[in-house]
Every structure is written in C-alpha cells, then in structure tokens.
Amino acid sequence: MLGFVQRWIDRRRQLRALWQADARRLIFNNELMAYYDAQRLVARSRAMGDRNGFWHWSKVAAEVARLSDKAGMDIATVKAIADEELGHPSRGQSE
C-alpha cells in the first residue's frame, strides 16, 4: 500500500512540474498574453473532446496566474476566446 501512495505522490509531482514548465514557456514567449494563450488551449481541447488536454491546460492557466503578475486576465477576453475556439457566435451579438 505504501508503494502505491508513493507512486501516486511521484506522479502528482511530475504532473505539477509539467504544468509549471508549460506555464513558464507561455510566460517566456509572451507574458502579457500567456494566460489567454493557455485559455485558448483549454477551449481548443474542450472543443476537440480532449478531456486530458482540457485539464492540463486549465492547470497551466492557473500556474500562469500564480507565476505572473503581468499576465492579462480579463474574463470578457477569456469568454471571447472560448466562443471563438468552440465556434459560437460572439456573446455580444447573441445577448
């Protein structure tokens, strides 16, 4: 039982390191847009039915928010990104 718990903990550490590495890469490429880039990948994964990708990029977006105080995080922009990736009309037009 102890071996199972240790493997689970190790796997969680590996996943967190991967989220952090992807977040740092997005921040390095364009810090101001890093959060939006991650949200675009969240929406794209959702649109493709990629559940693992959805959760991964959601965690990366959270890491970007945690690591960068310069990354933009406007909910209206995130909604527009989701609409674009999911093929929905703009929320401004439909409401």
Contact 75, 36 (CB under 8 A): no
Counting the structural domains of the chain, the total is 1
Check: pTM over 0.75? Answer yes or no.
yes
Contact 62, 41 (CB under 8 A): no
Rg (CA), the chain: 16
pLDDT in tens, 43-80: 999 999 999 999 999 999 999 999 999 998 888 998 99
The Cα–Cα gap between 49 and 71 comes to: 27
Which residues form the domain of 44?
2-94
pLDDT in tens, 14-35: 999 999 999 999 999 999 999 9
